[in-house]
Amino acid sequence: MEKLFTLLALQRQALEAKTQQALSHIMVNETLRLISYKQAIFWRKNENTVSLEKISGNAVLDEKSLFAQELKSALVPLFSDRNEGIKTFVHNQKSIAVVFLHTPEDGLLGGLWLENDHAFSEAELQILDELSVTYAQSLALRILRTRSSFFKVGRYKKIILVGVLLAAFFPVHQTITAPAEIVAKNANYVTVPYEGMVEKILVDPGSVVEKGQVLALMENSTLSAQATMAEQALAVAESSLSRLRREALSNPDKKNDLNLLESEIEEKKIEYAYAKQRQDESKIKAPKAGTAVFSDARKLEGKPARMGEVLMMVADPLESELLIRVPVESLTSVEKSAQVRFYLNVSPFSGREAVLTSSGYQASPDPDGLLTYKFRAEIKDRDGLRIGWQGTAKIKGEWTILSYALLRRPLIAFRHLTGI
């Protein structure tokens, strides 16, 4: 509840800032009330250059300093991407979050450069995403006031009020930002054939395998002993059959024993065939050609396993898709074929496009216990992608009004806390 009230108070404080200087002070200093960071810098975009406007604390930032020049050099390449939302990466051994301040009317106005000793959490990024909308709208209004004295004239206050009300009903796209991962499409699962211990994994993660190639060995000492005993029992029975056949030539009474022994041999053959089949199952083979997808062989070897437990996947690296895990509280209405833009952690500066193909009807828990809806998207360009790579995706939702987009998450959080 305290976080929610702090968020609402900070949004209101930003909207009520009288000047751009006051707003920049709020952005670099007051944001610390919600987000933990070591340093914050407010920057403005001027065509293809960057000007550093404000640094957290009461420090004075010299734009000619080496630090300022390095920071500008890191920011300028980001302008080639679609400047919306938040980008996270590591710079000079610091975790960086770049919050873009963008409006549909004015485009990219500027942003915040946040530094921290540790990576920003998903919850912190969501709060920053919420704040960025309010900061951007407030910054756009401050810039507009600076450019024109029209808004400073007292008799136009009513017009300003009408403008704010109109802005509250301005149409905007809802967006969903959520963790994403490159996953295999139409993959085959390799499972444990029987209850026992995994003795050896014979392939490395990500290696190319052929159909029928042995991927892993199960501990089979008991099965080998059973097969040997069944083979020996069959050999003894067949030897007895040969002797009994010779005796039956001279003693017709032995024919009844001969029939019984032949039936017994058939049973022994079945037992031996079954024992050999179980022994062969200890060699776990690839169901098709592809890439072996699993984390670490050492985590599997020597581990007791139940029948049907998944060891790895075999997938075609060219058949992949984007899996987006949308938290329950972030879900909003999206079209069936909504556009998706995602940024992978291995290349945070380059975004890729995808098209939504399916959405989970019911939320299910992730391995970490978080309840999420599973969205899947077809990737337009798969060149250079690897199964297992992770990042952040932004799904473009349906049209709504600006006031609803700004207040939707705070209202949901408030209802969860109060039950109203």
Q: Which two tokens stand for residue 418?
A: 């109060």
pLDDT at 98 over 70: yes
What is the per-residue pLDDT across 247-270, written as a single tens digit (0 to 9) for each? 655 566 555 666 676 677 777 777
Q: What is the mean pLDDT of residues 96-105?
A: 89
pLDDT at 239 over 90: no
Sheet holding 208-209, edge to edge: 188-191, 310-315, 290-293, 208-209
Question: Maximum CA pair distance of the chain?
Answer: 132
- Residue 109's identity, in one-letter code, is L
User: Among 129-138, 238-247, 303-312, which is the least confidently predicted range?
Assistant: 238-247
- At residue 77, φ and ψ (nearest 5 deg) are -60, -20
Q: Which residue has the higher pLDDT, 394 or 280?
A: 394
Q: Which residue has the higher pLDDT, 231 or 333?
A: 333
Structure confidence at residue 224 as a pLDDT band (50, 70, 90): low
Question: How many CB atoms lie under 10 A from the CB of residue 108?
Answer: 17
- The answer to whether the beta carbons of residues 55 and 113 sit under 8 Å apart is no
Cβ neighbors of 302 (< 8 A, separation 6 or more) are 197, 198, 199
Structure confidence at residue 178 as a pLDDT band (50, 70, 90): very high
Predicted local confidence at residue 257, as pLDDT: 62
Cβ neighbors of 405 (< 8 A, separation 6 or more) are 133, 172, 174
Q: What is the mean pLDDT of residues 290-310?
A: 86
- The answer to whether the beta carbons of residues 98 and 40 sit under 8 Å apart is no
Residue 401 and residue 406: Cα distance in Å, rounded? 9
Cβ neighbors of 202 (< 8 A, separation 6 or more) are 214, 215, 216, 217
Residue 50 and residue 48: Cα distance in Å, rounded? 7
Residue 344 and residue 180: Cα distance in Å, rounded? 8
Predicted local confidence at residue 151, as pLDDT: 46
Q: SS3 of 366, please?
A: coil
Q: What is the mean pLDDT of residues 379-384?
A: 86
How many residues appear in the chain? 420
pLDDT at 148 over 60: no
Instruction: Report the candidate in 362, 359, 361 with the shortest Cα–Cα distance to residue 338.
Output: 359
DSSP summary character for residue 119:
P
Cα R_g (the chain), whole angstroms? 33
Q: Which residues on neighbouring strands pair with residue 41, listed in sequence order?
A: 55, 113
Structure confidence at residue 115 as a pLDDT band (50, 70, 90): very high
- Residue 257's identity, in one-letter code, is D
Structure confidence at residue 96 as a pLDDT band (50, 70, 90): very high
Q: What is the mean pLDDT of residues 74-78?
A: 83
E-strand spans in 152-244? 171-184, 188-191, 196-201, 208-209, 214-218
Predicted local confidence at residue 259, as pLDDT: 65
User: Among 160-164, 190-194, 260-264, which is the least confidently predicted range?
Assistant: 260-264
Cβ neighbors of 177 (< 8 A, separation 6 or more) are 85, 86, 125, 126, 129, 330, 392, 393, 394, 395
Q: Which residue has the higher pLDDT, 74 or 276?
A: 74
Structure confidence at residue 340 as a pLDDT band (50, 70, 90): very high
Q: Which helix (H) or strand (E) holds 283?
A: strand 283-285
Predicted local confidence at residue 390, as pLDDT: 92
Predicted local confidence at residue 80, as pLDDT: 61
pLDDT at 28 over 50: yes
Set out the domains of the chain in order of their start, with CATH numbers: 2-168 (3.30.450.40), 182-186+318-398 (2.40.30.170), 188-312 (no CATH)
pLDDT at 150 over 50: no
Structure confidence at residue 397 as a pLDDT band (50, 70, 90): confident
What is the per-residue pLDDT across 2-25, written as a single tens digit (0 to 9) for each? 778 888 889 999 898 888 889 999
Question: How many CB atoms lie under 10 A from the CB of residue 238?
Answer: 13
